[in-house]
Amino acid sequence: MVSNQDAAELASPRELELRLKLIPPGDTVRGYFFNCALEQVRLQGDEEALRRCVEASGLESPTAFFKYPMSALLRLLYHVAWALNDSRGGFEASLRLLGQWTAKEFLRGSVGRTMLLLAGRNLKRLADYLPTAYGTGWEHGWGEVMWTGSGQCLVSIHGNVVPYPYFEGVFLEVFQAAGATNLKVRGWQLGTAHTRYSLSWD
């Protein structure tokens, strides 16, 4: 198991370039990930930061369900997290919030609503559906779930270069929306393109 990186190292331009080199050619992601990130910069009212973020991704108004290069999303997430750094408590906190905001948008859509409807109050069923839900948005890596006890599981995401705080935010939002109580989510890096998350609830 690899311990989490120093926050400054994770947030560095050098780390972004390292992660970009690990993205397989042709990997894509849906446009709503871009829209959610850009919207948070627009809400800040900082036109110069927004310009830098749009320039970094090369996309100003992505179509929600079109597919775009994974490399463009990674550049965007880093630039948005840098832009939000001071107001949101740091790079990792900004990424975590970006994950939460993206999950909120996902849950408003047909796939997200269906996922919550099918799970009902059964959080085990919800967790088991996570790899399928992941595949609806990402053509970059894959996910798996391993149960470690009642109301406890490990979620692994393999082959995805987005730093772990982003998916911590996603899982927090999804399980809170499903009614989880005493929810705990902790993520860490297994490698630059591999992350794992411990989820537990009552």
Measure the CA–CA gap between 24 and 193, rounded to whole angstroms: 11
Measure the CA–CA gap between 19 and 13, rounded to whole angstroms: 10
Whole-angstrom Cα Rg for the chain: 16
The 8-class DSSP code of residue 4 comes to P
The tens digit of pLDDT for each residue in 85-134 reads 888 889 999 999 999 999 999 999 888 999 999 898 899 999 999 999 99
Phi-psi region of 78 (alpha: psi -120 to 50; beta: other; left: phi over 0): alpha
**Residues 168, 25, 135, 18: what is their CA dihedral angle, to the nearest 10 degrees?**
-10
Average pLDDT over residues 175-180: 95
The pLDDT of residue 68 is above 50: yes
pLDDT of residue 12: 96
The tens digit of pLDDT for each residue in 144-176 reads 999 999 999 999 999 999 999 999 999 999 999
CATH number of domain containing 68: 3.90.1520.10
The tens digit of pLDDT for each residue in 2-50 reads 445 677 899 999 999 999 999 999 999 999 999 999 999 999 888 999 9
Measure the CA–CA gap between 160 and 187, rounded to whole angstroms: 14
Q: Which domain holds residue 136?
A: 1-202
**In 3-state terms, what secondary structure has residue 121?**
coil
Phi-psi region of 160 (alpha: psi -120 to 50; beta: other; left: phi over 0): beta
CB neighbour class for 41 (10 Å; exposed up to 12, middle 13-18, buried from 19): buried
pLDDT of residue 4: 56
Tally the domains of the chain.
Answer: 1
